Structure formats: structure tokens, C-alpha cells
């Protein structure tokens, strides 16, 4: 019986030759991840277990990224709680302000993720690493506490869904548009506890940054994980950071999928998710009457170097509209430095943008871009629920970095093509 990529990775980590959807497995994990919001809960539960060590100091990763730099006393206390635990237990991969960045951009950068790995994290967007051919998924903090102690976790094998993309992408259309379009097709619960596998010539040709963006938003369709076969770009990227390519899995020809979709994306426009769901999708040409107050370019979805380069290409020689605040947030310290060295910061500053240190801040309505009642933002983030970026009567429109940058200049939602 053929197996999918996801099934093969789970089988390997469970020590089995064959698994099928619905099987309940005990799987070993390669990385256990938490952040400054979720780690304190996991740590408290871990201490209840009553052991004096984590299963592997090299495989427990903690990242301060959500409410940092500390926005208030409570957030500072949370980060301190995590920092003290990491120091007490000798956690090798602990990343604080100035030394890391947003977790889901940081781990691949640090060479902590390889094709074939199994990664769990106390954050729903842990599914990002499927862009590198790993099985990665978010879990609750109690599950993470158990995994920190034992190095393994119970997991039910998810059914797989396959999404095939063929054709040639138009200029300004990116991985963000493919995943927004997909969510629009199946809905926010269309892949509930399913493995979302992405394939086709478009996926095969995609850069690492674009692939990570697609996998990142699998959870917005309810997916257990998003995944794709590692391509040459991935192998080169991972090899340069880890010295190994990992284990590249691909689905068997006779693998079974619950559903399969095939899309020719040659005529696709950039996509925009209207409030208040990531599935409320319209092409950018149908969004041009939406006047905005703020643009946020960043997050674990679109804060990588390729994203900033795209935004800078659109913004170069232009200014943001007077009614718009533009906030640019590089996802990691490495992205920050490279963007600065390439002169992207000069372009952003000349366009009247504010540049932030790496943080998840505005994505979850924490800080660095919280909105007031009645305000609207275009964001390269991943969620646009009611109150997600501030006041319940504010609105978030999700888009790719090119559309976000163009919208900042236009003062309304629009495409870079309108600036020519």
C-alpha cells in the first residue's frame, strides 16, 4: 500500500513500516518548540512531572518573539520565566531579543529543520516547516510539556489532501496568493485535521521563502500540517546550514488522498482576504475601493528577505500616502542585517516607513501596530479575525508583500501595476 509524504515521516518516527490514516502512534520528535506566550504554561506543567531534566537539551527550542521587546510588566515576566527555565535546564537553543527573531523564520535559518524531520510546537503556525519537507504541527502547551520530558508524543495519522498547481505565475503573484486562494476554495475548516500536500510544477520551482509561506497558512484551513517534497532550492538551503540534506520523502504513486485538487494558476491575480476570515478571498482588482490606515509587512508568513525585497521593489522612489502608517518588520536578526546591507532600509525610510526589530507584535494585536476602532490595515500576516490586530471594530485585509506595499502608496488596496 502506497503512502504519502506525511505518512512516511510518521511511520519512520514511530518505527513502523506502514501507517494509515486514523492510526494512533507514539512518535519520537526531532524538535519541541515553544515561545514566550506558550512556554510558561508548558514549563508549569513540565515541573508537575517531577523530573530534573528535559529529554534532550539540543532538541528543546524556546524563542521570545510574541510580546518582545517586553511591552509591559506582564509580558516581561513571561519572557523572564522562560529565560530562567532555559538557563536552569541548559537549553542550548534559547533565543532572546537581539539574538533570534520570529520562531518560524528563525528555526530554518538556524539549521534546526531538515526534510524528513518531525517537529511539534506550542504555536499553531509550527506547520511552516512543511515547506522544507518536514512534518510539523502545532500542539497545546500540555502536550509540549510531556514532549519536553519524554521526547515523544501520541499522534493520530491524518488523512491527506493534495493540491496541485500548474502553469506560470504572473508578476506580483506569490506563494501567499496560492495559499489564500486554496483557503478560499475549501474554507477555514476544509482541511480539518488533514495533511495538506502541495505539488505540481509551480511548487517544484518555488523558492524556500515562498514554500514556507504556503505551509505556514495550512492551519488557516484547519490543516494538521502543510507539506511538500523538498526541491533543489530546499536541499541547497538546508545543506548550507546543516551540512546534510536530511531525508527527502515523496508520496507513492498509489498513495491515497481524501481529496485532490488541481489548479492552473496562469491567470491568477494577487489575492486579498477580506475581514473577518482568511477564506473571504477576492482578487485584488475587486478590492480597489477599500481605503486603509495602516500597512504591516512582516510576520512568520511574509517577513523573510524575499518578502522585503519585493516590498522594496514596489516602494523604491515612492512615498506612502499621507493617511497610511507603514510598518516593516524583518522576521529575524539575519533578515534585518541583510535587508539593511542591501539598502532596503533606505528605501523603506525614504518611503516614510517605520522599521521594527523582529517581533510578532502586531499580528496578534499585541504591540507595534495595534489599531483603533474603525481603522483598516493591509497586512502580510496570516489571520484577520475580529479584533486580531486591535479594536474589535478594526479590519484586517491579508495580502502579499507586493500588494501591501502598493496599497501603502495608493492609500487604498491596490496592485503594483497601478503604480506604473
Per-residue pLDDT of the chain (420 residues), as tens digits, is 799 999 999 999 999 999 999 999 999 999 999 999 999 999 999 999 989 999 999 999 999 999 999 999 999 999 999 999 999 999 999 999 999 999 999 999 999 999 999 999 999 999 999 999 999 999 999 999 999 999 999 999 999 999 999 999 999 999 999 999 999 999 999 999 999 999 999 999 999 999 999 999 999 999 999 999 999 999 999 999 998 889 999 999 999 999 999 999 999 999 999 999 999 999 999 999 999 999 999 999 999 999 999 999 999 999 999 999 999 999 999 999 999 999 999 999 999 999 999 999 999 989 999 999 999 999 999 999 999 999 999 999 999 999 999 999 999 999 999 997
**pLDDT score, position 309:** 98
Crossing angle of helices 333-341 and 305-315, rounded to 10°:
40
Partnered with residue 295 across adjacent β-strands are: 326, 378
User: Can you tell me the distance from the alpha carbon of 184 to that of 200, in angstroms, rounded to the nearest whole number?
Assistant: 19
**399 CB-side CA count, 13 A:** 36
User: Can you tell me the distance from the alpha carbon of 23 to that of 399, in angstroms, rounded to the nearest whole number?
Assistant: 37
Crossing angle of helices 208-216 and 232-242, rounded to 10°:
100
User: Can you tell me the distance from the alpha carbon of 53 to that of 151, in angstroms, rounded to the nearest whole number?
Assistant: 11
Cα torsion 70, 74, 78, 80 to 10°: value is: 70
- The answer to whether the Cα torsion of 254, 257, 258, 263 is positive or negative is negative
User: Can you tell me the distance from the alpha carbon of 69 to that of 64, in angstroms, rounded to the nearest whole number?
Assistant: 9
C-alpha cell at 117: 524531520
How far does Cα 277 stand from its chain's mean position? 17
**What ranges in 89-194 are assigned the alpha helix state H?**
103-109, 141-150, 175-186
User: Can you tell me the distance from the alpha carbon of 38 to that of 22, in angstroms, rounded to the nearest whole number?
Assistant: 28
Of the candidates 292, 382, 377, the residue with the CA atom closest to the CA atom of residue 331: 382
For 152, the 3-state DSSP assignment is strand
Pairing of strands 24-28, 152-156: antiparallel
- The answer to whether the Cα torsion of 407, 410, 412, 416 is positive or negative is negative
Partnered with residue 155 across adjacent β-strands are: 25
DSSP string, 204-250: HT--HHHHHHHHHGGGGGT-SEEE----HHHHHHHHHHHSS------
User: Can you tell me the distance from the alpha carbon of 248 to that of 5, in angstroms, rounded to the nearest whole number?
Assistant: 9
Residues shown for the chain: 420
**320 CB-side CA count, 13 A:** 27
> Can you list the domains of the chain with their CATH numbers?
5-263 (3.30.499.10), 272-415 (3.30.499.10)
User: Can you tell me the distance from the alpha carbon of 131 to that of 209, in angstroms, rounded to the nearest whole number?
Assistant: 8
Of the candidates 211, 177, 191, 208, the residue with the CA atom closest to the CA atom of residue 257: 191
Sheet holding 225-227, edge to edge: 225-227, 195-199, 160-166, 259-264
**pLDDT score, position 273:** 97
Helices and strands (DSSP H and E) totals, the chain: 14, 18
Is 177 within 8 Å of 272 (Cβ atoms)? no
How many beta carbons lie within 10 A of that of residue 339, not counting itself?
24
Amino acid at each position: 500500500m502506497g503512502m504519502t509524504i506525511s505518512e512516511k515521516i510518521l511511520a519512520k518516527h514511530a518505527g513502523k513500516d506502514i501507517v494509515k490514516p486514523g492510526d494512533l502512534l507514539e512518535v519520537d520528535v526531532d524538535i519541541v518548540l515553544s515561545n514566550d506566550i506558550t512556554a510558561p504554561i508548558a514549563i508549569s506543567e513540565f515541573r508537575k512531572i517531577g523530573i530534573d531534566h528535559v529529554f534532550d537539551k539540543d532538541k528543546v527550542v524556546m524563542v521570545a518573539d510574541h510580546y518582545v521587546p517586553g511591552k509591559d510588566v506582564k509580558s516581561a515576566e513571561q519572557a523572564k520565566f522562560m529565560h530562567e527555565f532555559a538557563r536552569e535546564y541548559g537549553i542550548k537553543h534559547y533565543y532572546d531579543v537581539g539574538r533570534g527573531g520570529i520562531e518560524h523564520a528563525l528555526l530554518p535559518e538556524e539549521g534546526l529543520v531538515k526534510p524528513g524531520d518531525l517537529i511539534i510546537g506550542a504555536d499553531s503556525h509550527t506547520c511552516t516547516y512543511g515547506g522544507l519537507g518536514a512534518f510539523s504541527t502545532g500542539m497545546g502547551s500540555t502536550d509540549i510539556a510531556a514532549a519536553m520530558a519524554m521526547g515523544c508524543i501520541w499522534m493520530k495519522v491524518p488523512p491527506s489532501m493534495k493540491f496541485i498547481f500548474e502553469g506560470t505565475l504572473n508578476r506580483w503573484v506569490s506563494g501567499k496568493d496560492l495559499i489564500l486562494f486554496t483557503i478560499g476554495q475549501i474554507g477555514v475548516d476544509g482541511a480539518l485535521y488533514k495533511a495538506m500536500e502541495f505539488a505540481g510544477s509551480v511548487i517544484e520551482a518555488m523558492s524556500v521563502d515562498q514554500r514556507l509561506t504556503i505551509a505556514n497558512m495550512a492551519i488557516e484551513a484547519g490543516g494538521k500540517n502543510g507539506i511538500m517534497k523538498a526541491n533543489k532550492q530546499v536541499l541547497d538551503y538546508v545543506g548550507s546550514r546543516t551540512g546534510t540534506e536530511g531525508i527527502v520523502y515523496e508520496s507513492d504513486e498509489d498513495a491515497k488522498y481524501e481529496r485532490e485538487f488541481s489548479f492552473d494558476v496562469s491567470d491568477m491575480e494577487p489575492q486579498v482576504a477580506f475581514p473577518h476570515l482568511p477564506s473571504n478571498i477576492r482578487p485584488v482588482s475587486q478590492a480597489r475601493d477599500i481605503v486603509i490606515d495602516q500597512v504591516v509587512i512582516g510576520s512568520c508568513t511574509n517577513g523573510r528577505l524575499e518578502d522585503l525585497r519585493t516590498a522594496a521593489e514596489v516602494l523604491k522612489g515612492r512615498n506612502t500616502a499621507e493617511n497610511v502608517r507603514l510598518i516593516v518588520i524583518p522576521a529575524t536578526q539575519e533578515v534585518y542585517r541583510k535587508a539593511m546591507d542591501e539598502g532596503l532600509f533606505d528605501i523603506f525610510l525614504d518611503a516614510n516607513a517605520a522599521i521594527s526589530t523582529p517581533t510578532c507584535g502586531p499580528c496578534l494585536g499585541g504591540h507595534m501596530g495595534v489599531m483603533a476602532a474603525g481603522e483598516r490595515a493591509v497586512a502580510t500576516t496570516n489571520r484577520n479575525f475580529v479584533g486580531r490586530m486591535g479594536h474589535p471594530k478594526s479590519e484586517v485585509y491579508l495580502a502579499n508583500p507586493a500588494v501591501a506595499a502598493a496599497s501603502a502608496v495608493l492609500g487604498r488596496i491596490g496592485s503594483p501595476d497601478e503604480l506604473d
